[in-house]
């Protein structure tokens, strides 16, 4: 399976999880090519707007410099949405959700980093209203 297809599968799985809990969710194909859309998946329910950039890594690290932090800041300010990094290392297969406030202050994130929420925990917090309007 090629790299694009693997990334698509991660985006599709994330989108499906949010649709299953009542969000309107859409993949934003080729988001990296557009400075106005620094996200891969957009999820909206009521006043909650969540944007995710999805990254799949076969190595054990992700460099934050791959993200366009200025575009992310602008997207958050313009939409009143909240950005998250969705990161999956193929070595452990955990879908990790990192808050933007943590990500923006890092140089790199490694497989040993523990400052994330597994996707199932993140979803549970949304369902329990711990993650709400921004």
Domain of 31, CATH number, reads 3.40.1350.10
pLDDT at residue 34, rounded to an integer:
57
pTM: 0.88
Domain of residue 17 covers: 3-127
pLDDT tens by residue, 29-44:
765 555 557 999 999 9
pLDDT tens by residue, 112-129:
999 999 999 999 998 887
Answer yes or no: is 134 within a domain. no
Q: Chain-wide mean pLDDT for the chain?
A: 89
Query: Which residue's structure tokens are 């969705």?
Result: 86
Per the CB < 8 A criterion, the answer to whether 100 and 16 are in contact is: no
| Token pair listed for 72 | 């992310």
Per the CB < 8 A criterion, the answer to whether 108 and 64 are in contact is: yes
- Sign for the CA dihedral angle at 15, 27, 80, 76 comes to positive
| Interatomic CA distance for residues 17 and 106, integer angstroms | 27
For the chain, how many structural domains are there in total?
1
Angle at alpha carbon of residue 79, lines to 57 and 105, rounded to 5°: 45
Answer yes or no: is 132 within a domain. no
Answer yes or no: is 133 within a domain. no
The larger pLDDT score, comparing residue 130 to residue 114, is at 114
């Amino acid at each position: 399976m090629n790299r694009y297809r693997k990334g698509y599968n991660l985006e599709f799985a994330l989108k499906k999880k949010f649709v299953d809990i009542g969000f309107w969710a859409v993949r934003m194909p080729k988001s990296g090519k557009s400075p106005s859309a620094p996200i891969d998946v957009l999820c909206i329910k009521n006043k909650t707007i969540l944007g995710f950039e999805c990254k799949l890594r076969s190595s054990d690290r992700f460099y934050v410099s791959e993200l366009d932090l200025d575009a992310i800041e602008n997207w958050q300010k313009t939409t009143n949405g909240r950005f998250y990094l969705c990161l999956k290392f193929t070595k452990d297969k955990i879908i990790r959700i990192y808050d933007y406030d943590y990500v923006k202050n890092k140089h790199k994130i490694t497989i040993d980093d523990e400052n994330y929420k597994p996707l199932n925990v993140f979803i549970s917090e949304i369902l329990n209203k711990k993650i709400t309007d921004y």
